Amino acid sequence: MSTGTTKLDVVVSDVAPVNDLVTRFHFRRRDGELLPTFSGGAHVVVEMRDGDRTRLNPYSLMGSPLNTSEYTISVRRDDVGRGGSLFMHRSVKPGLEMVISYPVNLFSLDLRARKHLM
């Protein structure tokens, strides 16, 4: 299992606004290979390079873990945050090359449990 320190070189394949505050981003590997599988609840850490500053923000993966051709995240814009969501909304466009971590799951389901609370 990855600790999030292993990195993937990706390209932004699509950017789609969901509403006034939320935008969905799709990533594919730069080398065209398949992405690693993940389980429900997993996230990736997105590196956002803005001049001489690099932000590292975790975002939950969306969609089917079986679709290894692309990863999808949604980012809610926070106008008074630390700047990561603003960078994603203002600067990230299709074709941009980025770096993300391998998927990490800190909230994986315990398959031995009788009940799960969501």
What pLDDT does residue 85 have? Answer: 95
57 in a domain, yes or no?
Answer: yes
User: What's the CATH code of the domain at 12?
Assistant: 2.40.30.10
56 in a domain, yes or no?
Answer: yes
113 in a domain, yes or no?
Answer: no
pLDDT tens across 46-72, in order? 999 988 999 999 999 999 988 999 999
18 in a domain, yes or no?
Answer: yes
117 in a domain, yes or no?
Answer: no
114 in a domain, yes or no?
Answer: no
Q: Which domain does 22 fall in, by range?
A: 7-101
pLDDT > 70? residue 21: yes
pLDDT tens across 76-97, in order? 999 998 889 999 999 999 999 9
108 in a domain, yes or no?
Answer: no
Give the alpha-carbon dihedral of 96, 46, 4, 70, to 10 degrees: -50
What pLDDT does residue 114 have? Answer: 77
1 in a domain, yes or no?
Answer: no
CA 118 to centroid of chain Cα atoms: 21
